[in-house]
Amino acid sequence: MGLLELKIIKFVLIFLSVSFIGQNISGQALIKGSLSDIKGEGLSDINIMIYPTNRTILVAYAVSDSVGHFQVSVKIESDSLDIETNSMQYRRERIRVANISQMVKFTLIPDIKQLETFTVKATPIEKRGDTISYLVSSFAGKEDRAIVDVLRRMPGIEVEPNGRILYQGLPLQKFYVEGLDLMDGRYGVVSNNLPHCSVSAVEILENHQPVRILEDRTSTIQSSLNLKLKRDVTTTGTANVGVGLSPTLWDANITPMIFTKDFQVVTSYQTNNTGKDESQQLKVFTLDDLLKDADHPVENPEMLTIQTVNPPGINQNLYLDNNVHLLNFNGLLRLNRDFQLRSNLYYINDNQKAKATQQRTLYTPTDTLIFTENINNYLHNNYLLSEFTLSRNVKKNYLSNSLKIQTRWDKREGVLLNGNESIEQSLKSPLQSISNELQSVNPVGKYLVDFQSYISYDNSPHSLEVTPGQFELVLNQETPFEKVTQQIDLKRFYADHAASLVFSWKKLNFTPRLGITYRRQMLESHILLTRHEEETSAGTDFSNALDGSQTRVYTQTEVEYRKSSFTIKAKLPLSWQHVQLSDQDLKRGQTLCRVLFDPKLSVNYQMNGFWRVNSSWSFTHSLGDMDKAHYGYILRNYRVLNQNAASLSETSRHSFSSYLSYRNPITSFFNTFSYIYAISHDNLMYSSIVQDDGTTVLQSFLLPNTSLSHNLHGQTSKYFAATKTTISFQANVSQRNRKSLMNEELFNTKNLFYNFVPGANVRITSWLNAEYELNASYIRTFIENDRKNNISMIKHKVNVFAFPTNNQLISFKSEYYDYKGSNNIFVDMLYRYTVKKRKIDLELRWNNIFNSKNYTSYEASAFTVWESTYVLRPSQLFVSVKFSF
Amino acid sequence: MRYIYIFLLFTISLPCFSQNPFDNQITDIEPVEFIITYSMKYQEDSLNPNFKPQEDMVLFLGKKISKYMSYNFYIGDSMVRKVSSFEEFEKLTTDLKNPLPFVKFQIELFKNYPIGKLTCLDHIIGGSFKYEEEMDLFKWQLKNDTTSIMGYKVQKATCKFGGRNWIAWFCPDLPYNDGPYKFHGLPGLIVKVNDTRFHYLFEMTSIKKPGHELKIDITDRSYIETTKQGFFKAQDAFRNDIISRAKDAGFNSEEQQAMARRMAQKNNPIELK
């Protein structure tokens, strides 16, 4: 296009042709038209707006179509109209035409508009930098008690039912009181209990990065919250008190707290005898910690036990007969030079009684042995955990060092009736352990290097006394004796050091990790026999002086390939391990050196949103735990004498799993199906020599063997909207095959487990729902393909939940089963009433209404079946109230 | 236990993030010209007019196409997109110190994509859904009322949509025929829109040009392709069947009941039919 043409266009900028179509008689005019640019190309998505002349109120409009045409009908009483075009890319044009049906044509010239950027002005809350400050007094209402009630009213802040606080929809990163982070994420204790009248302002720290070295490197969109207190010293708290019958029951919890600018304390005392296990509070801190600890040696080795029964799969407060006291102290102190010291202390005193009957059936190709034990155990647990964390969080680096000291003085006593013989067991299992964990983030060139160190040392001098003495055949030339004592002293040292670096290349992120662990342990043990009130050693075969060490160097690499709905992943961990064991007294030992490669491959495929298929294969090698190897005998419990004198166990395992699911949320039809097959090769075989009285000598032998397992799981459910009912069905089938060695017979064992669970869930009204479930399980044991048993158990469960009003809850839970011809029924009832204004919860609980005495469950392994009958807590009525002060 | 509970609650509230998000291909459609933010106030429980949560929503305007989603979802999605392996993803979802934003609304609306259609992507635990609607959803009636909102001269228009009567205020000086949610088709950007009972209120809070190059994009998941009615059916089934779904996810009976109670209070969707 030449210059001249452009000039001409300037003059005919708005060339419009008006063609006469017809008189506007009906008062409705149909205006058709077209829009084009100067090249004559039709323009789409242009607004055509019709105004009465000289007015700004739009009466009709149209948008041009893909070729630039439009059509709009106008119904106003007026002689003429203004037609205006408007769009982002072209200049606005306005023409006046008669109010009659007609054709119009626009030629538009480009003109990119600049929209002015704007943001709504900040609300009149004080805002400086990245901090917003809310005055508590201007938001607090009459009914509010705790600071959390006021937080709810503040704009931008939301509190979820579980107590989590969100700011602008995002969870808080840190919850500070006077700039100190006392509770480390468990801030609910503070926010729910701190009265709002002691807080002067709530500060929101926007885009707050708590690890300061990362401040300029990674941006966060999350905020943290800081509470400014009115007074220099604030003391407050909460309480929960409950009582019940019978016998006398209590459940109390009192949580006082103190806050100052440089020193903060939250303490708690909790006690109950209602079957609530307070020690659970200590067990899990964060998921992160759980994953990290996976490779560390078990915290409490528990090499010796008194005979117990595994807990049944029912609600703990039905059977746990306890009397527990928990003291918890959390303190934080601000030190010089940006250091902070936090200490978290827990003390637990827990006394438990457990009563159960266990019937153990052992099968061999030629024989069936049945032993019955009546178990009466008394557990006295004393546990002190102290954790001290020193941290420094500045721009240059991040450092956090946490020292953990644990002390246990556990005592367990058991009186056991084995047939007619009464056996007393007494175990003292103290533990001292100290561990130190250090994490630091430091810049090295362009990258940040994350260094982690974990060092631990523990000592467990345990002793088990059994009266009268057992294993007289092995220990005392077939002569009965008064008492056998097993003494163990285990000292362990463990160190794990690892460094990882984070860097990116193209679209991939790499986190290479290199680490080294070293473990050293000393095991000393002796068996002592008491004969005629005289204690003598059982001899060198029954003692250990084992010195063990293990070194492991590891790296990890991951590879991933994906193409649309296909993903193939491979994990390739490589490690070098060196294990050395030597027993000076027995003059035995071994050295093992291995390079282990444990590949894992998985394939994932997804199809049209409904179908999903996953398959994976892994080949893993594992070396046995050093805690389990010893050349001399150890009396593990009153009836197991154990020697693992063969080499360290080495297991290699192929595992194949596949998963198929069809899930249709539109028809509410969900199905999943999975199959896992595993084959393991083990170099060791465990031999059990079971004597007439049930005592067992357990030894390991070098005898390579293979075991197989198949697991099938299927699940289906369908929701029927018409009846507001969900019908579901679950099935589990598993089979295990292995070789077993018992009483010098080597034989094949096969275990079959079936479990079928049909169920229904009905929503009767919006405030009432009920569910029913049937649980049928079957156990079968085959010895050399000969079926030895056929156990079946069918249980029915019915639960009803009702919410008559918003602050009331009523629930009934019941379970019924028939066991050896007698009916067993368990019913629990709960009523909860919340006084909303005063934030008081009242609760009435009636457990085990029909006062059922026992609960029975089954377990099976290779050639053994356990039938355990637990003595339950009696029928109990319990009332509790929760409030704050 | 508390943390595992939070973790579960978290993953259950982020279903769309939880299915290997890094497996998904992302298709760029066109550059973003303007970013409009809206504040949405809505009455979650039709019986409780006192509880009206607020949520920030974003509208990305391109030349021909626009994308609408919640701000938190946009942020969370951007965080997840940086992830390239399952381990990193696990770390992201379990990192309690730096968690993903809490996403209440996972709807993504594409107007005029494909041409002449409105594409809606949404998620219900257990599946990602996709449905299309025609663009001419709204029969707007222009009203004579004009006013000024945040300095913009706006005119009123009304329509019936999704079982509610709506009042919109649009600004002819902002010549985008777009608006929050599915609302569009007026000769100017919708600056404010609410239903006559004030159960839903959208108000524009900002207009920005993107600070750096930004694309309207769509994530290629394996979507369940359905219709609007099919999606609503799935949504109703999820609401009514919450107890068994919570049970499948491993929640105990007390938690299942609590979730059902919470769900019962979320009974006021923007489109009633």
Query: In sequence order, what are the beta bridge partners of B165?
Result: B160
Query: Are A535 and A528 a contacting pair, CB within 8 Å?
Result: yes
Q: Do A168 and B207 touch (CB under 8 A)?
A: no
Is B260 inside any structural domain? yes
Domain presence at residue B273: no
**ipTM greater than cut 0.85:** no
Spatial separation of the C-alpha atoms in residues A682 and A685, rounded to whole Å: 8
- Alpha-helical segments (H) within B102-251: 228-240, 242-248
Q: Please, which residues bridge with residue A376 across strands?
A: A355, A415
Report whether A710 contacts A677 (CB < 8 A): yes
Distance CA A163, CA A155 (A): 17
Specify if B144 maps to a domain: yes
B-chain residues near A805 (CB < 8 A): none
How confident is the model at residue A50, as a pLDDT?
A: 92
Q: Tokens for A634, please give them.
A: 């150890």
Superfamily of domain A3-108: Immunoglobulins (2.60.40.10)
- Residue of B99, B241, B262 lying closest to A726 (CB–CB): B241
Measure in Å the smallest separation between the Cα of A22 and chain B Cα atoms: 26
Q: Are A149 and A195 in contact (CB under 8 A)?
A: no
Q: Which residues, other chains included, contact A289 with Cβ-Cβ below 8 Å and sequence gap of 6+?
A: none
The per-residue pLDDT for A885 is: 61
Residue B239 falls inside a structural domain:
yes
Count of helix runs (H) and strand runs (E) in chain B: 6, 14
Q: Which chain B residues contact residue A185 at CB under 8 A?
A: 3, 96-97
Do A182 and A197 touch, CB atoms closer than 8 A? no
Residue A195 DSSP label: B
Q: Cβ–Cβ of A185/B258 closer than 8 Å?
A: no
Q: Sorting pLDDT into bands at 50, 70 and 90, what band is B16?
A: very low
Residue owning tokens 């009268």: A468
Smallest Cβ–Cβ distance between A169 and the set B101, B151, B221 belongs to B101
Domain holding B47, by residue range, is: 2-264
- Closest by Cα among A741, A822, A749, A814 to A779: A749
B236 and chain A in contact, CB less than 8 A: yes
Q: Are A297 and A519 in contact (CB under 8 A)?
A: yes
Tokens read off for A498: 């690892």
When divided into structural domains, chain B yields a total of 1
- Note whether B139 contacts A: Cβ–Cβ < 8 A: no
| Mutation for testing the B interface, residue in A44, A58, A63 having most B CBs under 10 Å | A58
Q: What is the pLDDT of residue B154?
A: 92
Q: Is A155 exposed, middle or buried (0-12, 13-18, 19+ CB in 10 A)?
A: exposed
Locate tokens 């007494």: which residue? Answer: A426
pTM of the model: 0.73
Q: In chain B, what residues touch A811 (CB-CB under 8 Å)? A: 253, 257
CB atoms within 10 A of CB A157: 21
| Residue B269 is assigned to a structural domain of this protein | no
Chain A interface mutation, best of B4, B98, B105, B158, highest count of A Cβ atoms under 10 Å: B98
pLDDT, position A18: 38
DSSP state of A478: T
Other Cβ atoms closer than 10 A to B71: 22
Find the CB nearest A117 among B7, B82, B208.
Answer: B208
B240 touches A at CB < 8 Å: yes
Q: What is the DSSP letter of A312?
A: P
> Which residue, B71, B197, B201, B185, is CA-closest to B149?
B201
User: Taking CB atoms and an 8 Å limit, are A665 and B124 in contact across chains?
Assistant: yes
User: With the C-alpha atoms ordered A716, A721, A722, A724, is the resulting torsion angle positive or negative?
Assistant: positive
Distance between CA atoms of A334 and B72, rounded to whole angstroms?
Answer: 35
Q: Is B240 a member of any domain? A: yes
- Containing H/E element for B9? helix B2-13
In chain A, which stretches have pLDDT less than 70?
1-27, 113-132, 138, 141-144, 155-156, 160-162, 168-170, 183-186, 189, 206-222, 280-295, 502-511, 558, 562-564, 836-839, 884-885
The radius of gyration of chain B's CA atoms, rounded to the nearest angstrom, is: 19
Is the minimum CB–CB distance between B250 and chain A shorter than 8 Å? Answer: no
* CB atoms B84 and A507 under 8 Å: yes
Cβ-proximal residues to A675 (8 Å cutoff; 6+ apart), any chain: A657, A658, A659, A710, A711, A712, A713
Q: How far B164 CA sits from the closest chain A CA (Å)?
A: 23
Instruction: Please say whether the beta carbons of A364 and A783 come within 8 A.
Output: yes
Residue A499: CB atoms within 10 Å: 16
In the three-class reduction of DSSP (H, G, I as helix; E, B as strand; rest coil), residue A551 is classed as strand
- The angle at the Cα of A659, spanning A654 to A661, to the nearest 5 degrees, equals 180
CA distance A281 to A350: 14
**Nearest-CB residue to B98 (from A60, A220, A283):** A220
Q: Is B188 on the interface with A (CB under 8 A)?
A: yes
Question: Between chains, do A56 and B2 touch, taking CB under 8 Å as contact?
Answer: no
CB < 8 Å to A809, chain B? 257
CB contacts < 8 A, A to B, total: 211
Cβ distance B75 to A221 less than 8 Å, yes or no, reads yes
How far apart, in Å, are the Cα atoms of B257 and each of A174, A811, B230? 30, 10, 27
Quote the tokens at residue B176.
Answer: 């985008």
Q: Is B86 on the interface with A (CB under 8 A)?
A: yes
* Upstream peptide bond of A573 is cis (omega within 30 degrees of 0): no
For the stretch A544-576, pLDDT in tens is: 999 999 999 988 776 777 666 777 878 888 899
Which pLDDT does position A399 carry in this prediction?
A: 85
Chain B residue numbers with beta carbons less than 8 Å from the beta carbon of A845 are: none
Closest residue by Cα to residue A467 from A418, A530, A393, A532:
A530
Does any domain span residue B42? yes
**Interface touch B20/A567, C-beta < 8 Å:** yes
Please identify which residue in the block is written with the tokens 């041409």: B115
Which residues on neighbouring strands pair with residue B69, listed in sequence order? B58
Find the farthest-apart pair of alpha carbons in chain A and give their distance in angstroms, rounded. 131
Q: List pLDDT tens digits, range B98-135.
A: 556 667 888 999 999 998 899 999 988 778 899 999 99
CB contact under 8 Å between A509 and B96, yes or no, is no
Chain B CB contacts of A726 under 8 Å are: 241, 243-244
- Structure tokens of A861? 């392994």
Asked if residue B59 is part of any domain, the answer here is yes
State which fold the A126-238 domain adopts.
Ferric Hydroxamate Uptake Protein; Chain A, domain 1 (2.170.130)
Q: Which of B87, B184, B240 to mutate to test the interface with A (most CBs of A within 10 A)?
A: B240
DSSP of B146-170: EEEETTEEEEEEEEEETTEEEEEEE
Contacts of B243 in chain A (CB under 8 A): 726, 761, 763, 769, 771
Put simply, the answer to whether A670 touches B104 (Cβ < 8 Å) is no
Output the CA–CA distances (angstroms, integers) from residue A696 to A196, A227, A305, A636, A643, in the order listed: 64, 62, 15, 10, 11
Q: Where are the alpha helices (DSSP H) in A160-268?
A: 188-191
Asked if pLDDT for residue B143 goes beyond 60, the answer is: yes
- Closest approach of chain A CAs to the CA of B149, in angstroms? 11
Separation of alpha carbons A101 and A113, rounded Å:
32
CB proximity B221 to A under 8 Å: yes
Question: Higher-confidence residue: B158 or A336?
Answer: B158
- Cα distance between residue A761 and residue A759, in whole Å: 7
Whether residues B206 and A607 touch (CB distance < 8 A) is answered with no
Would the CB atoms of A609 and B124 count as touching at under 8 Å?
A: no
Residue B10 has pLDDT above 50, yes or no: no
Cα gap A828→A813, rounded to integer Å: 5
- Distance (Å, whole) CA A45 – CA B64: 8
Q: What confidence category does residue B4 fall into, taking pLDDT thresholds of 50, 70 and 90?
A: very low
Question: Which residues, in sequence order, are bridge partners of residue A719?
Answer: A726
d(CA A662, CA B35): 39
Residue at token pair 């706006």: B154
Which residues in chain A have Cβ-Cβ distances shorter than 8 Å to B231?
666
Distance of CA A743 to the CA centre of its chain: 43
**Does B155 sit within 8 Å of A57, measured CB to CB?**
yes
